[in-house]
Amino acid sequence: MSAQVNIKRTSVPQIIARKGGEPLVCLTSYHAHTARLIDPYVDLLLVGDSLGMVMYGMETTLGVTLDMMIAHGAAVVRGSQKALIVVDMPFGSYEESPTQAFHNAARVLKETGCQAIKLEGGSRMAETVHYLTQRGIPVMGHIGLTPQNVNVLGGFKAQGLAQEEWAALQIDAQDLAQAGAFSIVLEAMAAGLADKITAAVSVPTIGIGASAACDGQILVSEDMLGLSPKVPRFVKEFATLGAQIAGAAEAYGREVRARRFPSAENTYTTKSKKKEPTK
């Protein structure tokens, strides 16, 4: 159990205060070492349930469990110092009732030391968002392409591409903000719709495949680092770590086979025995 309070971290009110200001920089993170590297450059780290695909090779996020989220959430809290840490509620851990959501979200906060949780869904989740925020659990909303809904949507499809869909998504965002969500992720939706939602709601919108006008942006770290085999069109690769890792493994293999590694500097030698002082 950790439940640590670190007052140097970015707080939920500080995130809310950035509405309409300098864009919020957000990335996902699932483990301590990358959290430590990324933390100085971001305002918010999301321990997303995308870890099911990225870390565990699953095809969707549906198999991710609360225990997996807690283990990775605690690792990211331990690896970071400055960013606000948000942990995703996995499929099946919050949809049934506000009390189910409170029970599981309280476990996430207590056992990871994170500051907030994220859950997917618009108006239908407003009652739960209100219930949690009234009881000390800050909630980030998530609308547009909601991957936990993949079977209903019929795939990972961008939303709001037809203008007839806009009104419902705008109401979703308004309902989440009014229920007390401190920010809302807008995933894979028409840019014009993301612009309208951002202008209309009182809390920051965080875009991923949405619009540059959002109050902040988030990407899956492994995608933007060039580690993912396939990325959606909204991803920009800011590094090519995948190629670097493969290159490093190849070079290591060459040196091991040629007995060039380990060299003298990578091996231990016996210490020469100290002479007993003569009395």
88 binds ligand KIV per the rule CB under 6 A: yes
For the question of residue 187 being annotated catalytic, the response is yes
**Position of minimal CB gap to ligand KIV:** 48
Separation CA 104–CA 86 (nearest Å): 14
Q: Which stretch binds ligand KIV (CB under 6 A): 13-21, 41-49, 97-105, 253-261?
A: 41-49
Active-site residue (options: 59, 96, 127, 187): 187
Smallest distance, ligand KIV to C-beta of residue 47, A: 8
Separation CA 248–CA 124 (nearest Å): 48
Number of residues in contact with ligand KIV under rule CB under 6 A: 12
C-alpha distances (whole Å) from 153 to each of 80, 144, 145, 158, 171 are: 35, 11, 8, 10, 19
Residue 10 or 29: which CB sits closer to ligand KIV?
Answer: 29
The two counts, helices (H) then strands (E), for the chain are 11, 8
Smallest distance, ligand KIV to C-beta of residue 132, A: 17
Largest CA distance in the chain: 97
- In one-letter notation, the amino acid at residue 163 is Q
185 binds ligand KIV per the rule CB under 6 A: yes
Q: What angle do CA 41, 42, 45 make, to 5 degrees?
A: 135
Q: Which stretch binds ligand KIV (CB under 6 A): 11-19, 47-55, 127-135, 247-255?
A: 47-55
Residue 175 or 187: which CB sits closer to ligand KIV?
Answer: 187
Q: Which stretch binds ligand KIV (CB under 6 A): 29-37, 43-51, 95-103, 256-264?
A: 43-51
Smallest distance, ligand KIV to C-beta of residue 28, A: 4
28 binds ligand KIV per the rule CB under 6 A: yes
Q: Give the list of residues 6+ apart from residue 214 with CB closer than 8 angstroms, or none.
A: 23, 186, 194, 198, 204, 205, 206, 207
C-alpha distances (whole Å) from 238 to each of 8, 30, 85, 210 are: 28, 19, 22, 18
Site for ligand KIV in 125-164 (CB under 6 A): 142
Separation CA 32–CA 220 (nearest Å): 15
Separation CA 125–CA 121 (nearest Å): 6
> What is the contact mask toward ligand KIV in residues 202 to 241, using x (rule: CB under 6 A)?
------x---------x-x---------------------
Which residues form the interface with ligand KIV (CB under 6 A)? 28, 46, 48-50, 88, 142, 185, 187, 208, 218, 220
Give the residue numbers annotated as catalytic, written as ranges: 187
